[in-house]
Structure 1
Amino acid sequence: MRTVEIAVENKSTKIRRVLFIILVCCVIMGIVDAVIRPGYAIKSIIKIFLFLGCPLIYSGYDKEIYLKQLFSIHKNSLIKPLLLGVGVFLVILAAYFFLKNILDFSKITSSLESNVGVSKDNFVSVSLYISFINSMLEEFFFRGFAFLSLKRYTSRFFSYSISSIAFALYHVSMMIGWFSIATLLLIIIGLIVGGIIFNFLNERNKNIYSSWMVHMFANFAINTVGFILFGLI
Protein backbone atom coordinates (compact mmCIF):
# COMPACT_ATOMS: atom_id res chain seq x y z
CA MET A 1 0.00 0.00 0.00
CA ARG A 2 2.84 2.35 0.91
CA THR A 3 4.55 1.58 -2.42
CA VAL A 4 1.39 2.56 -4.31
CA GLU A 5 1.14 5.82 -2.34
CA ILE A 6 4.77 6.67 -3.17
CA ALA A 7 4.18 5.93 -6.85
CA VAL A 8 1.11 8.19 -6.92
CA GLU A 9 3.02 10.92 -5.08
CA ASN A 10 5.93 10.68 -7.55
CA LYS A 11 3.52 10.84 -10.46
CA SER A 12 1.82 13.96 -9.05
CA THR A 13 5.22 15.57 -8.49
CA LYS A 14 6.23 14.94 -12.10
CA ILE A 15 2.95 16.37 -13.38
CA ARG A 16 3.51 19.54 -11.33
CA ARG A 17 7.06 19.86 -12.63
CA VAL A 18 6.02 19.54 -16.27
CA LEU A 19 3.17 22.02 -15.77
CA PHE A 20 5.56 24.42 -14.02
CA ILE A 21 7.98 24.32 -16.95
CA ILE A 22 5.15 24.87 -19.45
CA LEU A 23 3.79 27.82 -17.46
CA VAL A 24 7.16 29.49 -16.81
CA CYS A 25 8.38 29.15 -20.39
CA CYS A 26 5.11 30.51 -21.83
CA VAL A 27 4.96 33.42 -19.36
CA ILE A 28 8.58 34.41 -19.95
CA MET A 29 8.16 34.20 -23.72
CA GLY A 30 4.92 36.19 -23.46
CA ILE A 31 6.70 38.93 -21.51
CA VAL A 32 9.49 38.96 -24.09
CA ASP A 33 6.95 39.29 -26.92
CA ALA A 34 4.59 41.81 -25.32
CA VAL A 35 6.74 43.86 -22.92
CA ILE A 36 10.48 43.62 -23.57
CA ARG A 37 10.18 43.35 -27.37
CA PRO A 38 13.82 42.79 -28.26
CA GLY A 39 15.06 42.44 -31.84
CA TYR A 40 13.84 39.37 -33.69
CA ALA A 41 17.22 37.62 -33.50
CA ILE A 42 17.45 38.04 -29.71
CA LYS A 43 13.84 36.94 -29.29
CA SER A 44 14.54 33.82 -31.37
CA ILE A 45 17.55 32.89 -29.24
CA ILE A 46 15.46 33.24 -26.06
CA LYS A 47 12.72 31.11 -27.59
CA ILE A 48 15.17 28.39 -28.61
CA PHE A 49 16.46 28.19 -25.03
CA LEU A 50 12.96 28.12 -23.49
CA PHE A 51 11.12 25.86 -25.94
CA LEU A 52 13.99 23.53 -26.82
CA GLY A 53 16.60 23.87 -24.10
CA CYS A 54 14.35 23.68 -21.03
CA PRO A 55 12.58 20.43 -22.02
CA LEU A 56 15.92 18.85 -22.99
CA ILE A 57 17.47 19.87 -19.67
CA TYR A 58 14.50 18.45 -17.74
CA SER A 59 14.57 15.22 -19.76
CA GLY A 60 18.13 14.72 -18.49
CA TYR A 61 16.70 14.78 -14.97
CA ASP A 62 13.52 12.78 -15.58
CA LYS A 63 14.51 9.75 -17.66
CA GLU A 64 10.85 8.91 -18.34
CA ILE A 65 10.66 12.03 -20.53
CA TYR A 66 12.19 10.39 -23.58
CA LEU A 67 12.20 13.13 -26.21
CA LYS A 68 14.32 11.41 -28.84
CA GLN A 69 11.40 9.27 -29.96
CA LEU A 70 9.54 12.44 -30.99
CA PHE A 71 11.82 12.59 -34.03
CA SER A 72 11.25 9.05 -35.27
CA ILE A 73 10.05 9.09 -38.88
CA HIS A 74 7.39 6.81 -40.30
CA LYS A 75 7.18 7.58 -44.01
CA ASN A 76 3.68 6.20 -44.46
CA SER A 77 2.38 8.53 -41.74
CA LEU A 78 3.48 11.71 -43.57
CA ILE A 79 1.20 11.50 -46.60
CA LYS A 80 -2.04 12.48 -44.85
CA PRO A 81 -0.42 15.36 -42.90
CA LEU A 82 1.07 16.62 -46.17
CA LEU A 83 -2.35 16.64 -47.84
CA LEU A 84 -3.90 18.22 -44.75
CA GLY A 85 -1.16 20.86 -44.75
CA VAL A 86 -1.89 21.78 -48.35
CA GLY A 87 -5.58 22.00 -47.49
CA VAL A 88 -4.86 24.28 -44.51
CA PHE A 89 -2.70 26.48 -46.75
CA LEU A 90 -5.55 26.92 -49.22
CA VAL A 91 -8.15 27.51 -46.50
CA ILE A 92 -6.09 30.25 -44.80
CA LEU A 93 -5.45 32.05 -48.09
CA ALA A 94 -9.12 31.76 -49.05
CA ALA A 95 -10.12 33.13 -45.62
CA TYR A 96 -7.81 36.12 -46.06
CA PHE A 97 -9.19 37.05 -49.48
CA PHE A 98 -12.74 36.60 -48.17
CA LEU A 99 -12.18 38.69 -45.03
CA LYS A 100 -9.78 41.37 -46.27
CA ASN A 101 -12.65 43.75 -47.06
CA ILE A 102 -14.39 42.96 -43.76
CA LEU A 103 -11.54 42.99 -41.22
CA ASP A 104 -8.83 45.62 -40.91
CA PHE A 105 -5.43 44.00 -41.53
CA SER A 106 -3.60 47.30 -41.87
CA LYS A 107 -2.36 47.28 -38.25
CA ILE A 108 -0.45 44.04 -38.69
CA THR A 109 2.52 45.40 -40.66
CA SER A 110 2.88 48.49 -38.45
CA SER A 111 2.69 46.33 -35.30
CA LEU A 112 5.30 43.93 -36.70
CA GLU A 113 7.63 46.82 -37.45
CA SER A 114 7.22 48.64 -34.13
CA ASN A 115 6.86 45.70 -31.74
CA VAL A 116 8.77 42.84 -33.32
CA GLY A 117 11.30 44.50 -35.59
CA VAL A 118 9.99 42.72 -38.68
CA SER A 119 9.88 44.92 -41.77
CA LYS A 120 9.68 44.68 -45.52
CA ASP A 121 13.48 44.52 -45.67
CA ASN A 122 13.91 41.43 -43.46
CA PHE A 123 10.57 39.71 -43.97
CA VAL A 124 11.94 37.09 -46.40
CA SER A 125 14.53 35.76 -43.92
CA VAL A 126 12.08 36.01 -41.02
CA SER A 127 9.40 34.14 -42.96
CA LEU A 128 11.85 31.30 -43.68
CA TYR A 129 12.73 31.08 -39.98
CA ILE A 130 9.04 31.15 -38.97
CA SER A 131 8.06 28.48 -41.48
CA PHE A 132 10.78 25.93 -40.78
CA ILE A 133 12.51 26.56 -37.44
CA ASN A 134 9.93 28.40 -35.34
CA SER A 135 7.21 25.91 -36.27
CA MET A 136 9.46 23.02 -35.22
CA LEU A 137 10.26 24.72 -31.89
CA GLU A 138 6.57 25.17 -31.11
CA GLU A 139 5.70 21.61 -32.11
CA PHE A 140 8.54 20.22 -30.00
CA PHE A 141 7.44 22.24 -26.97
CA PHE A 142 3.64 22.23 -27.17
CA ARG A 143 3.03 18.86 -28.84
CA GLY A 144 6.13 16.92 -27.88
CA PHE A 145 6.80 18.09 -24.33
CA ALA A 146 3.49 19.63 -23.23
CA PHE A 147 1.32 16.90 -24.78
CA LEU A 148 3.05 13.58 -25.43
CA SER A 149 5.30 13.82 -22.36
CA LEU A 150 2.54 15.09 -20.06
CA LYS A 151 0.27 12.34 -21.36
CA ARG A 152 2.57 9.78 -19.72
CA TYR A 153 1.48 10.98 -16.29
CA THR A 154 -2.02 12.33 -16.67
CA SER A 155 -5.28 11.77 -18.53
CA ARG A 156 -5.70 12.16 -22.27
CA PHE A 157 -8.26 14.95 -21.81
CA PHE A 158 -6.03 16.90 -19.43
CA SER A 159 -2.94 16.68 -21.65
CA TYR A 160 -4.98 17.66 -24.73
CA SER A 161 -6.44 20.64 -22.88
CA ILE A 162 -3.20 21.95 -21.34
CA SER A 163 -1.23 21.71 -24.57
CA SER A 164 -3.92 23.31 -26.75
CA ILE A 165 -4.81 26.13 -24.35
CA ALA A 166 -1.15 26.93 -23.64
CA PHE A 167 -0.46 27.02 -27.39
CA ALA A 168 -3.35 29.41 -28.00
CA LEU A 169 -2.73 31.77 -25.07
CA TYR A 170 0.98 31.95 -25.82
CA HIS A 171 0.18 33.48 -29.22
CA VAL A 172 -1.96 36.23 -27.67
CA SER A 173 1.08 38.24 -26.57
CA MET A 174 2.44 38.57 -30.09
CA MET A 175 -0.93 39.63 -31.52
CA ILE A 176 -1.75 42.42 -29.07
CA GLY A 177 -2.83 45.47 -31.05
CA TRP A 178 -3.38 43.58 -34.28
CA PHE A 179 -7.13 42.91 -34.05
CA SER A 180 -10.24 43.83 -32.12
CA ILE A 181 -11.07 41.83 -28.96
CA ALA A 182 -13.81 39.89 -30.75
CA THR A 183 -11.50 38.92 -33.61
CA LEU A 184 -8.76 37.98 -31.16
CA LEU A 185 -11.14 35.68 -29.27
CA LEU A 186 -12.06 33.96 -32.53
CA ILE A 187 -8.38 33.49 -33.31
CA ILE A 188 -7.76 32.01 -29.85
CA ILE A 189 -10.60 29.53 -30.35
CA GLY A 190 -9.17 28.64 -33.75
CA LEU A 191 -5.72 28.10 -32.21
CA ILE A 192 -7.16 25.83 -29.53
CA VAL A 193 -8.96 23.76 -32.16
CA GLY A 194 -5.77 23.69 -34.25
CA GLY A 195 -3.79 22.54 -31.20
CA ILE A 196 -6.26 19.70 -30.63
CA ILE A 197 -5.90 18.59 -34.26
CA PHE A 198 -2.10 18.75 -34.02
CA ASN A 199 -2.19 16.66 -30.85
CA PHE A 200 -4.42 14.08 -32.52
CA LEU A 201 -2.02 13.74 -35.47
CA ASN A 202 0.98 13.27 -33.19
CA GLU A 203 -0.84 10.92 -30.85
CA ARG A 204 -1.52 8.57 -33.74
CA ASN A 205 2.02 8.68 -35.13
CA LYS A 206 3.91 9.23 -31.83
CA ASN A 207 6.18 11.88 -33.33
CA ILE A 208 6.01 15.61 -34.04
CA TYR A 209 6.56 15.50 -37.80
CA SER A 210 2.86 15.16 -38.59
CA SER A 211 1.82 18.34 -36.79
CA TRP A 212 5.01 20.12 -37.90
CA MET A 213 4.10 19.56 -41.54
CA VAL A 214 0.61 21.03 -41.08
CA HIS A 215 1.97 23.87 -38.91
CA MET A 216 4.60 24.61 -41.55
CA PHE A 217 2.01 24.89 -44.33
CA ALA A 218 -0.15 27.11 -42.11
CA ASN A 219 2.88 29.37 -41.67
CA PHE A 220 3.48 29.30 -45.44
CA ALA A 221 -0.03 30.68 -45.88
CA ILE A 222 0.34 33.31 -43.13
CA ASN A 223 3.68 34.39 -44.56
CA THR A 224 2.11 34.64 -48.02
CA VAL A 225 -0.44 37.03 -46.51
CA GLY A 226 2.50 38.89 -44.98
CA PHE A 227 4.14 39.21 -48.38
CA ILE A 228 0.89 40.67 -49.71
CA LEU A 229 0.52 43.13 -46.83
CA PHE A 230 4.13 44.30 -47.16
CA GLY A 231 3.62 44.72 -50.90
CA LEU A 232 6.28 42.15 -51.79
CA ILE A 233 3.95 40.23 -54.10
Structure 2
Amino acid sequence: MKDIFYPLNRSRRKGLHLALLVFGAAAMMLVDVFLQLSYGQRSLVKGILFLILPLIYSRMTPGFHLLGVFGKGAGKKGFLSSLLLGVLVYGGLMGLYLLIQGFLDLKQIESAIVTNMSVDRENFLPVALYISFGNSLLEEFFFRGFGCLKLGDKSSRLFAYSVSAALFALYHLPMVSGWTSPLITGLGIFGLFLSGIFFNLLNAGKGNLYNSYMVHMFANFAINTIGLQMFGLIRLPFLG
Protein backbone atom coordinates (compact mmCIF):
# COMPACT_ATOMS: atom_id res chain seq x y z
CA MET A 1 0.00 0.00 0.00
CA LYS A 2 2.86 2.35 0.77
CA ASP A 3 4.30 1.69 -2.66
CA ILE A 4 1.08 2.92 -4.33
CA PHE A 5 0.86 6.20 -2.43
CA TYR A 6 4.53 6.98 -1.92
CA PRO A 7 5.86 9.48 -2.68
CA LEU A 8 2.92 11.82 -2.07
CA ASN A 9 3.65 15.49 -2.52
CA ARG A 10 2.35 18.05 -0.04
CA SER A 11 -0.78 18.80 -2.07
CA ARG A 12 -1.75 15.15 -2.44
CA ARG A 13 -1.16 14.46 1.24
CA LYS A 14 -3.40 17.39 2.11
CA GLY A 15 -6.08 16.13 -0.28
CA LEU A 16 -5.97 12.60 1.12
CA HIS A 17 -6.03 13.91 4.68
CA LEU A 18 -9.02 16.15 3.97
CA ALA A 19 -10.88 13.38 2.14
CA LEU A 20 -10.54 11.01 5.09
CA LEU A 21 -11.73 13.68 7.52
CA VAL A 22 -14.79 14.48 5.42
CA PHE A 23 -15.51 10.79 4.89
CA GLY A 24 -15.39 10.08 8.63
CA ALA A 25 -17.77 12.90 9.55
CA ALA A 26 -20.11 12.22 6.60
CA ALA A 27 -20.21 8.49 7.28
CA MET A 28 -21.31 9.07 10.87
CA MET A 29 -23.97 11.52 9.70
CA LEU A 30 -25.33 8.89 7.27
CA VAL A 31 -25.29 6.25 10.01
CA ASP A 32 -27.35 8.53 12.24
CA VAL A 33 -29.80 9.41 9.46
CA PHE A 34 -30.40 5.98 7.91
CA LEU A 35 -29.59 3.37 10.57
CA GLN A 36 -31.50 2.86 13.79
CA LEU A 37 -28.60 1.83 15.99
CA SER A 38 -28.42 1.71 19.73
CA TYR A 39 -26.00 4.12 21.36
CA GLY A 40 -23.56 1.26 21.96
CA GLN A 41 -23.67 0.13 18.33
CA ARG A 42 -23.28 3.70 17.11
CA SER A 43 -20.30 4.23 19.41
CA LEU A 44 -18.66 1.06 18.09
CA VAL A 45 -19.07 2.21 14.47
CA LYS A 46 -17.71 5.65 15.34
CA GLY A 47 -14.77 4.19 17.22
CA ILE A 48 -13.84 2.02 14.25
CA LEU A 49 -14.15 4.91 11.78
CA PHE A 50 -12.36 7.52 13.87
CA LEU A 51 -9.46 5.21 14.61
CA ILE A 52 -9.15 3.33 11.31
CA LEU A 53 -9.18 6.40 9.04
CA PRO A 54 -6.17 8.06 10.72
CA LEU A 55 -4.47 4.65 10.72
CA ILE A 56 -5.06 4.33 6.97
CA TYR A 57 -3.48 7.74 6.46
CA SER A 58 -0.49 6.83 8.61
CA ARG A 59 0.06 3.68 6.57
CA MET A 60 -0.12 5.62 3.31
CA THR A 61 2.08 8.49 4.45
CA PRO A 62 5.63 7.67 5.59
CA GLY A 63 6.76 9.83 8.49
CA PHE A 64 3.25 10.48 9.80
CA HIS A 65 3.09 9.71 13.53
CA LEU A 66 -0.46 8.69 14.40
CA LEU A 67 -0.08 9.17 18.15
CA GLY A 68 1.97 12.34 17.92
CA VAL A 69 -0.89 14.37 19.43
CA PHE A 70 -0.24 12.55 22.72
CA GLY A 71 3.51 13.03 22.57
CA LYS A 72 3.90 15.96 24.95
CA GLY A 73 2.08 16.11 28.27
CA ALA A 74 0.39 19.25 29.54
CA GLY A 75 2.53 19.44 32.68
CA LYS A 76 1.24 20.29 36.16
CA LYS A 77 0.74 23.98 35.41
CA GLY A 78 -1.00 23.24 32.12
CA PHE A 79 -3.19 20.63 33.76
CA LEU A 80 -4.32 23.02 36.51
CA SER A 81 -5.06 25.83 34.06
CA SER A 82 -7.04 23.42 31.84
CA LEU A 83 -8.90 22.13 34.88
CA LEU A 84 -9.82 25.65 35.93
CA LEU A 85 -10.95 26.50 32.42
CA GLY A 86 -13.01 23.33 32.32
CA VAL A 87 -14.75 24.26 35.56
CA LEU A 88 -15.48 27.74 34.18
CA VAL A 89 -16.92 26.21 30.99
CA TYR A 90 -19.10 23.92 33.09
CA GLY A 91 -20.42 26.89 35.05
CA GLY A 92 -20.91 28.94 31.91
CA LEU A 93 -22.91 26.22 30.17
CA MET A 94 -25.09 25.65 33.21
CA GLY A 95 -25.73 29.40 33.36
CA LEU A 96 -26.57 29.43 29.63
CA TYR A 97 -29.04 26.60 30.18
CA LEU A 98 -30.78 28.61 32.90
CA LEU A 99 -31.15 31.50 30.46
CA ILE A 100 -32.58 29.48 27.57
CA GLN A 101 -34.43 26.67 29.34
CA GLY A 102 -37.73 28.41 28.63
CA PHE A 103 -37.12 27.79 24.92
CA LEU A 104 -36.42 24.07 25.41
CA ASP A 105 -38.91 21.24 25.78
CA LEU A 106 -37.09 18.58 27.80
CA LYS A 107 -39.87 16.07 27.19
CA GLN A 108 -39.38 16.49 23.43
CA ILE A 109 -35.61 16.13 23.81
CA GLU A 110 -36.03 13.06 26.00
CA SER A 111 -38.38 11.47 23.47
CA ALA A 112 -35.94 12.16 20.60
CA ILE A 113 -33.01 10.66 22.52
CA VAL A 114 -34.99 7.55 23.45
CA THR A 115 -36.22 7.09 19.87
CA ASN A 116 -33.04 7.92 17.95
CA MET A 117 -30.35 6.59 20.29
CA SER A 118 -32.11 4.03 22.50
CA VAL A 119 -30.89 5.97 25.54
CA ASP A 120 -33.31 6.15 28.45
CA ARG A 121 -33.43 6.43 32.23
CA GLU A 122 -32.17 2.86 32.67
CA ASN A 123 -28.94 3.23 30.71
CA PHE A 124 -28.29 6.97 30.76
CA LEU A 125 -25.73 6.91 33.61
CA PRO A 126 -23.21 4.56 31.90
CA VAL A 127 -23.80 6.37 28.60
CA ALA A 128 -23.16 9.72 30.32
CA LEU A 129 -19.89 8.43 31.79
CA TYR A 130 -18.76 7.21 28.38
CA ILE A 131 -19.75 10.48 26.70
CA SER A 132 -17.77 12.49 29.24
CA PHE A 133 -14.57 10.46 29.30
CA GLY A 134 -14.42 8.15 26.27
CA ASN A 135 -16.39 9.90 23.56
CA SER A 136 -14.74 13.24 24.34
CA LEU A 137 -11.31 11.70 23.85
CA LEU A 138 -12.32 9.95 20.61
CA GLU A 139 -13.74 13.15 19.12
CA GLU A 140 -10.73 15.17 20.22
CA PHE A 141 -8.39 12.63 18.66
CA PHE A 142 -10.23 12.69 15.32
CA PHE A 143 -11.32 16.32 14.97
CA ARG A 144 -8.61 18.17 16.90
CA GLY A 145 -5.70 15.75 16.71
CA PHE A 146 -5.94 14.18 13.25
CA GLY A 147 -8.28 16.91 11.99
CA CYS A 148 -6.49 20.07 13.09
CA LEU A 149 -3.04 19.55 14.59
CA LYS A 150 -1.99 17.12 11.87
CA LEU A 151 -3.84 18.85 9.02
CA GLY A 152 -2.22 22.10 10.12
CA ASP A 153 1.19 20.54 9.45
CA LYS A 154 0.49 20.74 5.72
CA SER A 155 -1.92 23.68 5.39
CA SER A 156 -2.62 27.08 6.92
CA ARG A 157 -3.80 27.29 10.52
CA LEU A 158 -6.99 29.09 9.43
CA PHE A 159 -7.85 26.30 6.99
CA ALA A 160 -7.20 23.54 9.54
CA TYR A 161 -9.17 25.33 12.26
CA SER A 162 -12.14 26.03 9.99
CA VAL A 163 -12.37 22.57 8.44
CA SER A 164 -12.08 20.65 11.70
CA ALA A 165 -14.55 22.94 13.48
CA ALA A 166 -17.08 22.79 10.63
CA LEU A 167 -16.94 19.00 10.41
CA PHE A 168 -17.20 18.72 14.19
CA ALA A 169 -20.35 20.87 14.18
CA LEU A 170 -22.04 19.30 11.17
CA TYR A 171 -21.41 15.75 12.38
CA HIS A 172 -23.60 16.54 15.40
CA LEU A 173 -26.54 17.71 13.29
CA PRO A 174 -28.37 14.36 12.89
CA MET A 175 -27.89 13.68 16.61
CA VAL A 176 -29.71 16.81 17.73
CA SER A 177 -32.28 16.87 14.93
CA GLY A 178 -35.76 16.89 16.42
CA TRP A 179 -34.66 18.09 19.83
CA THR A 180 -36.04 21.58 19.44
CA SER A 181 -37.01 24.20 16.84
CA PRO A 182 -34.90 24.61 13.67
CA LEU A 183 -33.78 28.05 14.85
CA ILE A 184 -32.47 26.80 18.19
CA THR A 185 -30.92 23.78 16.46
CA GLY A 186 -29.15 26.06 13.98
CA LEU A 187 -27.84 28.25 16.78
CA GLY A 188 -26.64 25.14 18.57
CA ILE A 189 -24.73 23.92 15.51
CA PHE A 190 -23.16 27.35 15.12
CA GLY A 191 -22.23 27.20 18.80
CA LEU A 192 -20.56 23.84 18.18
CA PHE A 193 -18.58 25.38 15.31
CA LEU A 194 -17.37 28.16 17.64
CA SER A 195 -16.59 25.51 20.26
CA GLY A 196 -14.48 23.67 17.69
CA ILE A 197 -12.53 26.86 16.95
CA PHE A 198 -12.11 27.44 20.69
CA PHE A 199 -10.85 23.88 21.24
CA ASN A 200 -8.33 24.35 18.41
CA LEU A 201 -7.09 27.59 19.96
CA LEU A 202 -6.58 25.82 23.28
CA ASN A 203 -4.19 23.40 21.58
CA ALA A 204 -2.37 26.03 19.50
CA GLY A 205 1.39 25.86 19.86
CA LYS A 206 1.25 22.95 22.32
CA GLY A 207 1.35 20.01 19.93
CA ASN A 208 -1.14 17.97 21.95
CA LEU A 209 -4.87 17.87 22.64
CA TYR A 210 -4.89 17.62 26.44
CA ASN A 211 -6.27 21.14 26.91
CA SER A 212 -9.20 20.71 24.54
CA TYR A 213 -9.94 17.27 25.95
CA MET A 214 -10.23 18.64 29.47
CA VAL A 215 -12.58 21.45 28.43
CA HIS A 216 -14.59 19.13 26.16
CA MET A 217 -14.98 16.71 29.06
CA PHE A 218 -16.33 19.43 31.37
CA ALA A 219 -18.68 20.68 28.65
CA ASN A 220 -20.09 17.17 28.48
CA PHE A 221 -20.33 17.11 32.28
CA ALA A 222 -22.67 20.11 32.00
CA ILE A 223 -24.79 18.52 29.27
CA ASN A 224 -24.97 15.27 31.23
CA THR A 225 -25.96 17.10 34.41
CA ILE A 226 -28.99 18.42 32.52
CA GLY A 227 -29.59 14.91 31.17
CA LEU A 228 -29.53 13.42 34.66
CA GLN A 229 -32.11 16.00 35.70
CA MET A 230 -34.19 15.34 32.58
CA PHE A 231 -34.35 11.58 33.23
CA GLY A 232 -35.12 12.14 36.91
CA LEU A 233 -31.88 10.60 38.18
CA ILE A 234 -31.01 13.72 40.18
CA ARG A 235 -33.11 16.62 41.37
CA LEU A 236 -31.51 20.07 41.37
CA PRO A 237 -34.15 22.72 42.15
CA PHE A 238 -32.30 25.51 40.33
CA LEU A 239 -32.51 23.55 37.06
CA GLY A 240 -36.29 23.67 37.11
Give your verdict on TM over 0.5. Answer: yes
Q: Contact (CA 8 Å) 1:164, 1:193: kept in 2 or not?
A: yes
Q: Contact (CA 8 Å) 1:85, 1:218: kept in 2 or not?
A: yes
TM-score by length of 2: 0.90
5+ residue gaps, structure 2, are 1-6, 235-240
What percentage of aligned pairs have identical amino acids? 43
Q: What's 2:23 paired with?
A: 24
d(CA) in 2 for partners of 1:34 and 1:170? 11
Q: What's 1:49 paired with?
A: 48
Letter in 2 for 1:15: K
Matched, 1:95 2:96: yes
Report deviation, 1:79.
2.0
After TM superposition, the structure 1 stretch with the greater mean CA deviation from structure 2, 68-77 or 44-53, is 68-77
* 1:121-200 pair list within 5 angstroms: 121-200=122-201
Q: Stretches of 4+ moved more than 3 A in 1?
A: none
Q: Contact (CA 8 Å) 1:70, 1:207: kept in 2 or not?
A: yes
TM-score by length of 1: 0.93
d(CA) in 2 for partners of 1:205 and 1:190? 24
After TM superposition, the structure 1 stretch with the greater mean CA deviation from structure 2, 106-115 or 121-130, is 106-115
Q: What's 2:212 paired with?
A: 211
1:177 match: secondary structure: coil
CA offsets 1:135-155 (integer angstroms, 9 cap, x no match): 000000000001011111111
d(CA) in 2 for partners of 1:34 and 1:88? 30
Letter in 1 for 2:146: F
Q: Contact (CA 8 Å) 1:26, 1:166: kept in 2 or not?
A: yes
5+ residue gaps, structure 1, are 1-6
Q: What's 2:232 paired with?
A: 231
Matched, 1:85 2:86: yes
Letter in 1 for 2:74: H
Q: Contact (CA 8 Å) 1:146, 1:159: kept in 2 or not?
A: yes
Report deviation, 1:60.
2.4
